[in-house]
Amino acid sequence: MKKIFLLLPLVLIFLTSCDKKNAVKDVDDSLKKINAFNATFEKMYTDSIISTKSLTKDEADSEYEQLKKIANEYYKSINKINDNIAKEQKKVEAGDKKKAKYKEAYLKALSDKKAEIDEATKLFEHNLNQIKK
């Protein structure tokens, strides 16, 4: 019985820590994903072509499909951030007394990494336009 009482606080701490949303980490993750897309694009676009067919039997996906997967991961990370902000906003509107800490942390992280985000986003948009050509 003593062991249960000793383990209960540890389990509660673990469960609450898993539920916490970390805006700074989420911004860093999205930045890593957009940078991964840009780096992969740079490697693949050396011949000025993004292939829509697998080049070898070892490659399961074409260059285009590989880039599409990375871009989708980036968009998922942005959607996660937007969902967290929306959920927090709903709680606040429903009368939750807590401040919108996630949104504040997100805006601060954006501000702190503004130059890096702007540069990566500009390159991402440029790379997407290259694919459309």
The fold adopted by the segment(s) 22-132 is: Topoisomerase I; Chain A, domain 4 (1.10.132)
Measured CA to CA, the distance from residue 108 to residue 106 in angstroms comes to 5
pLDDT score at 53: 86
The residue ranges of every structural domain in the chain are 22-132
Average pLDDT along the chain, 133 residues, taken 10 residues at a time:
45 45 95 98 94 75 92 97 94 82 95 97 96 79
DSSP-assigned letters across all residues of 53-118: S-SSSS-SS-HHHHHHHHHHHHHHHHHHHHHHHHHHHHHHHTT--S--HHHHHHHHHHHHTHHHHH
pTM for this prediction: 0.78
